[in-house]
């Protein structure tokens, strides 16, 4: 299987190259430190994003409806048999959704550094999204029982991200202004604290600019600054 480059990032990195660091399209700049890397828990992703339990319940209800509706017309054995196809269809559907969750989780790498959040996402098409802390207005933690959770990032400035491009690594139902998210990660509270402290330190860092020189705008986009698209 080969990966073909379609773009280069703002730092001149050639995406034909193999990732020098897993989850990053290039070596971190000098002085930037990786604080945490991880990926979604595939089962939590299947449950929370793909709603596999709701889908299973839906097919169980269909099977029960079929059984009850045929109970007065057919013998018990045949009534049960008429409901079995719904259970089989539900099992296949849930199995496919689970496979999607596993593929998404295995293809994903979230990276938190002391300067930015990097999301390498996509099972069929790998996309790397770079979000500097200066482009993060707020971070929301949705903590679940067991310690897993989702950290959604509210971006500011000129940042525009597509909901469909980021899905399922996005805050649910925020369609108009998509919020990229670290979905279903273990020890989410610990990661959220780490990210918050790093962001505060970065934003508070003094910036030195040359007199008379206009500072270059810094943006986080899924299509220009650090986008890596690979086709399989």
Q: Is the pLDDT of residue 8 over 50?
A: no
Q: Quote the distance between the C-alpha of residue 76 and its chain's center.
A: 47
| Complete DSSP assignment for 79-141 | HHHHHHHHHHHHHHHHHHHHHHHHHHHHH-EEEEESSEEEEEE-SSEEEEEEEEGGGEEEEEE
How far, in Å, CA of 181 to CA of 160, rounded? 14
The angle formed by the CA atoms of residues 223, 51 and 153, to the nearest 5 degrees, is 35
Q: Which of 2, 11, 45 is nearest to 227 (CA)?
A: 11
Q: Find tokens 């690979």 and name the residue.
A: 230
Per-residue model confidence (pLDDT) at position 140: 93
> Above 90 in pLDDT, residue 47?
yes
Q: Which residue has the higher pLDDT, 13 or 125?
A: 125
Distance CA 143, CA 180 (A): 16
Q: Which two tokens stand for residue 4?
A: 């073909």
pLDDT, tens only, 127-156: 999 999 989 989 999 999 889 999 999 998
According to DSSP, the residues that pair with 102 across neighbouring strands are none
Domain borders along the chain are: 45-104
pTM recorded for the entire structure? 0.76
pLDDT over 90 (residue 22): no
Would you state the structure tokens that stand for residue 53, as one six-digit string?
């339990």
Spell out the residues 6+ positions from residue 160 whose beta carbon is closer than 8 angstroms to its own: 221
d(CA 230, CA 232): 7
Q: Are 55 and 93 in contact (CB under 8 A)?
A: yes
pLDDT (average), residues 94-119: 95
Assess contact for 133 and 199: CB atoms under 8 A.
yes
């Amino acid at each position: 299987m080969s990966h073909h480059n379609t773009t280069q990032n703002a730092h001149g990195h050639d995406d034909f190259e193999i990732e020098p660091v897993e989850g990053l399209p290039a070596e971190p700049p000098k002085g930037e430190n990786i604080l945490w890397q991880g990926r979604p828990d595939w089962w939590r992703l299947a449950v929370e994003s793909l709603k596999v339990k709701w889908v299973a319940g839906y097919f169980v209800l269909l099977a029960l409806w079929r059984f009850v509706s045929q109970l007065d017309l057919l013998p018990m054995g045949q009534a049960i048999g008429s409901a079995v196809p719904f259970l089989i269809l539900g099992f296949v559907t849930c199995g496919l959704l689970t496979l999607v969750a596993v593929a998404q989780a295995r293809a994903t790498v979230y990276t938190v550094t002391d300067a930015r959040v990097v999301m390498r996402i996509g099972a069929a098409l790998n996309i790397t999204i770079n979000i500097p802390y200066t482009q993060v207005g707020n971070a929301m933690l949705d903590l679940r029982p067991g310690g897993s959770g989702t950290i959604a990032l509210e971006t500011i400035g000129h940042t525009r991200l597509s909901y469909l491009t980021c899905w399922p690594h996005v805050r649910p139902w925020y369609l108009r202004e998509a919020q990229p998210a670290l979905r279903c990660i273990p020890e989410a509270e610990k990661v959220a604290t780490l990210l918050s402290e790093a962001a505060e330190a970065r934003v508070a860092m003094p910036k030195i600019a040359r007199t008379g020189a206009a500072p270059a705008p810094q943006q986080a986009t899924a299509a220009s600054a650090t986008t890596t698209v690979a086709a399989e």
